Amino acid sequence: MNVGSPDKALPAGGPGTTPLNPVEVEIVNLFVQFSRALGQPRSVAEIYGLLFISHRPLPMDELIGRLNLSKGSASQGLRYLLELGAVRTVYVAGERRTHYEAVAELRNLAGRFIRQQIATHFQDSGPRLAHIAAQSEKLPGDERKHALARVKMLRSWEKNVKRVLPLVLVILGGRNGSSSRSATNGSGR
C-alpha cells in the first residue's frame, strides 16, 4: 500500500477510489506496526486495518484500489486472513462481488494465531533437535560442550512452550482457543 507514516500526506488510492481518511490512515498504520512485531506481511496488516475500521464490508477491488495493492497481494492477504479467522465473507444484497469484514475478537485471533503460527513450528522440533545433538557430538572439545549445552537449553524451551501453549489457548477462550461469543466490528453482529 503505501499508506505512509502518519506525518505524510494521505495516499490518493487507485483511479476512481476514495482516498483513505485520516482515521483510516492512522488505524492502518497502527496495524502495520503490530504486523512488524509479529513478523507478518505489511499488506496483510493494511487489509485487516482497513476492514477493521470500515463501517461496511468491502470488496477486494476496493481494497486493492484504496490500499494501492496488487491483485495477487490482496488475494493472498485475504486468503491468509480468512484462514486465520481474522476476516470473513459477507453477503451484500444486490452485489455479485464477495465482500469482507474484520472479525474483531482478540480472543479468537490470538488463539488461532498461536495455533497456526507458533504451535505448528514446535511440532517437528523434537527430531530436529535430536539431529542437531547428533551433529554436535561430532564437534571438537569446547565447541561440542557448548553446542550440547545449547541443545539442552532448546529442549527445555521446547518442553516449556509445549506445556504453556495449551494453557494460553484455554485462557484465550476454551479448549480449542475458540470463544462462544462472536463480535465483529465491535458491534456484536
**Which of 36-50, 87-101, 143-157 has the largest mean confidence?**
87-101
Global pTM? 0.62
Reported confidence tier of residue 180, pLDDT bands at 50, 70, 90: very low
The cell numbers describing 137, all together, are 557430538
Residues near 87 by beta carbon (within 8 Å), at least 6 away in sequence: 47, 48, 51, 78, 81, 100, 101, 102, 103
Report the pLDDT value the prediction gives residue 74, as an integer from 0 to 100.
97
Please report, for residues 101, 158, 165, the alpha-carbon distance to residue 126 in angstroms, rounded to integers and kept in the order given: 39, 8, 16
pLDDT band for 30, please (50, 70, 90 cuts): very high
Comparison of pLDDT for 169 and 147, the residue scoring more? 147
C-alpha cell at 17: 477510489
State the pLDDT at residue 15.
58
Which residue intervals of 39-140 are DSSP H helices? 42-53, 60-67, 71-84, 106-113, 120-122, 125-136
Could you tell me the sign of the dihedral formed by the alpha carbons of 12, 17, 20, 21, in that order?
Answer: positive
Residue 39 has pLDDT above 90, yes or no: no
The pLDDT of residue 167 is 72
Domain ranges of the chain: 22-102, 106-173
The answer to whether 7 touches 50, Cβ cutoff 8 Å, is: no
Question: Residue 31 belongs to what H/E stretch?
Answer: helix 22-38
Give the CATH number of domain 22-102.
1.10.10.10
Contacts of 188 by beta carbon, 8 Å cutoff, 6+ apart: 181, 182
